[in-house]
Structure 1
Amino acid sequence: MNPKPKRTIQIAQPVTGEDEWLAMRESIESGWLTHGPKVNAFERAFSERHDVKHSLACTSATTGLHLALTAIGIGPGDEVIVPAFTWVATANAVLYCGATVVLCDVDPRTYNIDIQDAVRRVTSRTKAIIPVHLFGLCADIPALRALLPAHIRIIEDAACAAGGSLGNTSAGALGDVGVFSFHPRKSITTGEGGMITTNDAGIAERCIMLRNHGASISEEQRHRGAKPYILPDFNLLGFNYRMTDLQGSVGIVQLNKLDRFIDERATWAAWYRKKLSHIKWLRHPEEPKSGRHAWQSYVTYVEPDIAPLVRNEIMQFLQDRGVSTRPGTHAVHMLGFYRERFGYDADDFPGARDCDINTMAIPLHNRMCEDDYNYVVDALLEIS
């Protein structure tokens, strides 16, 4: 029987407190709970921070991807290229539109899209591609754009990349559309929630209508307008993907803390790299040559040929000592639904397969203290 661990360190914990509570209380007392002035203020602040013309809040990054794909006209008969190592929502959103998911491999060093493999999979039916800024490292969108036909839209899955950048360009401003997540495992959170970013006014206008049932004007515009009795027209088949003002009020507070949170995570990421550098079987995450890693998580790679244990055994060893870990994410083609529906084999995308089997996220979040980080390192050193 394993002894009780000295402490428990979660893989991720959001930092919320009195500031968020007071902001949400203000919305509660105002009586405006659904999408309204707080969401609008959050959108404006997000646009300013990420240097984009339009930011549009929604219920999650998943619904944000669905809105973005729908807004650019993706539907049956179209193909959308998606990296095979990503959270399943990236691929699912394509199927929601009735389009065809075309998986491509990833670079097992960056975990991001293998650009050459993606370009090889372009056909006459390819209408969009969704590179993922996995774990906060921006994919090389300019390099991808240079190799793609001009008509193919680029949707950034920036779920993990709030505050990140490639060179001087922020995540969410690199492609035609960007989509962010505010799930509690992200650096900033609204509980659930997402944000769409774009510099294209037409895409923004369609997303605004689509997230609100296809209505020609928002509820806030109608209720604050001179003629509130006039119902909006509905010219699109839309959805109810509106963020609430309760979430928007929290988002404003969290966004003000984003850069501090990332700076702190970057400091500890560098500390991990230094303290664990002599463990030869543990590969550390890549950092951008120019730009800023958003450090949603610290995802290592267990080198299977030289590690003393396989990845899952290492994870269990750490869990027994109170250190939570997770696989980086999953290989979509190895998941039951995609494997059975489309007949994929694990070896179809070897980079994604290897990342699925060997990646390991270790704790990195803004509730950790120095003793916690030392404890994680000491537990890993026990293995080596």
Structure 2
Amino acid sequence: MSERPARRDVPISLPSTGEAELEAVRGPIESGWLTQGPKVAEFEKRFAERHDVPHALAVTSCTTGLHLILAAMEIGPGDEVIVPAFTWVATANVVLYCGATPVLADVDRDTFNLDIDDVLRRVTSRTKAVIAVHLFGRCMDMDALSAALPSGIEIIEDAACAAGAAWQGRPAGSLGRAASFSFHPRKSVTTGEGGMVTTDDPALAERMNMMRNHGASISEEQRHHGPRPYLLPDFNLLGFNYRMTDLQGAVGLVQFGKLDRFIDERAAMAKRFTEAFADINWLRTPTEPQGGRHGWQAYVLYVDPDGAPMLRNDMMEALQEMGVSTRPGTHAVHMLGLYRDRYGLAPHDFPGARDCAEHSMAIPLHNRMTEEDFDHVVRAVRSLAHG
């Protein structure tokens, strides 16, 4: 058995924020304009330009962004939406929010993304859309998915982890009918909570713009700065309060200016992790998509149960004792109580998702990791190689 290193606490993730973000919120606070306003508008403009889309709309989270997309597409009762069985539960939940039926499809153990053959087995006459998740920042093969699907089925990107990522030279967020991104603190750039939806469809963008603000015909900023601020707007759509605050928009602008540097730093660390673990044959490391750019929201290993010296959960416990935080990649939706009981599902119904949930392991990867942190994580993982 390899000697285990002395404990050093290394968190799974830390947001990289500082004085610039603190200073950025001064403007909205001093102006008194705290809700959605000019900072959000500037953030949206820069995000759209970077992701090569004409429309970007800031929202309160990736979850509300996905819900907004489905609602604006008028997906509802009687409709089906295919989602991966290995994803954060929000991807499936948003379909239920609309009264539609989430139809789970299995995933590829190598990429953690949708298994296209299994997607096609789930398509019915009621299928309105597929939500393709770019899990952990690795884009789904959108060309293959688009070519395989029958015409008329929309592709929505769950790009929660994929700000700055790309597929075949095209940015995430420009690959489907619409997309939703996350700015949660575990993502590469953060606004605390927050998200962004993107689309190249002007009619859909206009509808989502109204629906994120209760269905109002004009925004609060337009009304207050217009000639008759005392008149309330008309409401012709059922909408929601999914507006991002200008405080978040100000922070987002600072963070977004660091996006490509953050991804480059993460990519360099990921490459070094992969090299450090190359001789451990029971540990599969994540790969860059050929012709694409990984967003590296997380570095997620796959522990081969046939060759590993111990179970994944035992590894996670041992690493925790050495101070190294880990997490399962995410969960298998069909094994969660809500979906298991509601649809009568069993673990073996989606074996790829089951295996990914039971054998994936995210290790620390973030922009505040020091050389000492990195070296400790490598030593800790390697110390498990002989049990």
Shorter-chain TM-score bucket reads over 0.9
Summarize deviations over 1:135-170 as a string: whole Å, max 9, x none.
000001111111112211111000000000001110
Match of 2:119 in 1: 118
Deviation at residue 84 of structure 1 after TM alignment: 0.2
Summarize deviations over 1:297-350 as a string: whole Å, max 9, x none.
000000000000000000000000000000000000000111111110000000
Match of 1:96 in 2: 97
Percent identical pairs in the alignment equals 66
Q: Distance in 2 between matches of 1:279 and 1:248?
A: 43
Match of 2:165 in 1: 164
Q: Distance in 1 between matches of 2:92 and 2:382?
A: 37
Q: What are the residue-to-residue correspondences of 1:1-384 with 2, within 5 Å?
A: 6-384=7-385
Contact 1:23 1:250 in 2 (8 A): yes
Letter in 2 for 1:300: L
Give the SS at the match of 1:34.
Answer: coil
Question: Structure 2: which 5+ runs fail to align?
Answer: none
Deviation at residue 224 of structure 1 after TM alignment: 0.7
Q: Distance in 1 between matches of 2:196 and 2:298?
A: 19
Deviation at residue 52 of structure 1 after TM alignment: 0.4
Letter in 1 for 2:262: F
Over 4 Å off, 4+ runs: none
Deviation at residue 37 of structure 1 after TM alignment: 0.4
Deviation at residue 286 of structure 1 after TM alignment: 2.4
Deviation at residue 268 of structure 1 after TM alignment: 0.6
Q: Distance in 1 between matches of 2:128 and 2:252?
A: 33
Contact 1:107 1:351 in 2 (8 A): yes
Letter in 1 for 2:319: L
Give the SS at the match of 1:155.
Answer: strand
Deviation at residue 230 of structure 1 after TM alignment: 2.2
CA-based RMSD of the aligned residues comes to 1.0
Summarize deviations over 1:21-70 as a string: whole Å, max 9, x none.
00011111110000000000000000011010000000000000000001
Q: Distance in 2 between matches of 1:291 and 1:379?
A: 31
Question: Structure 1: which 5+ runs fail to align?
Answer: none
Deviation at residue 4 of structure 1 after TM alignment: 11
Letter in 2 for 1:248: G
Give the SS at the match of 2:133.
Answer: coil
Give the SS at the match of 2:25.
Answer: helix
Summarize deviations over 1:244-285 as a string: whole Å, max 9, x none.
000000000000000000000000100001111111111001
Give the SS at the match of 1:250.
Answer: helix
Letter in 2 for 1:238: G
Q: Distance in 2 between matches of 1:104 and 1:77?
A: 18
Give the SS at the match of 2:196.
Answer: strand
Q: How many residue pairs get matched?
A: 382
Give the SS at the match of 1:131.
Answer: strand
Give the SS at the match of 1:178.
Answer: strand
Letter in 2 for 1:277: A
Q: Distance in 2 between matches of 1:381 and 1:131?
A: 34
Deviation at residue 124 of structure 1 after TM alignment: 0.6
Letter in 1 for 2:29: I
Q: TM-score, normalised by structure 2?
A: 0.98
Deviation at residue 5 of structure 1 after TM alignment: 5.3
Contact 2:5 2:379 in 1 (8 A): no
Give the SS at the match of 1:93.
Answer: helix
Contact 1:134 1:160 in 2 (8 A): yes
Q: Distance in 2 between matches of 1:167 and 1:381?
A: 34
Deviation at residue 380 of structure 1 after TM alignment: 1.0
Contact 2:163 2:295 in 1 (8 A): yes
Q: Distance in 2 between matches of 1:351 and 1:4?
A: 34
Give the SS at the match of 1:10.
Answer: coil
Contact 1:5 1:320 in 2 (8 A): no
Summarize deviations over 1:344-374 as a string: whole Å, max 9, x none.
0000000000000000000010000111111
Summarize deviations over 1:210-258 as a string: whole Å, max 9, x none.
1100100000000011121221110111100100000000000000000
Letter in 2 for 1:57: A
Contact 1:81 1:126 in 2 (8 A): yes
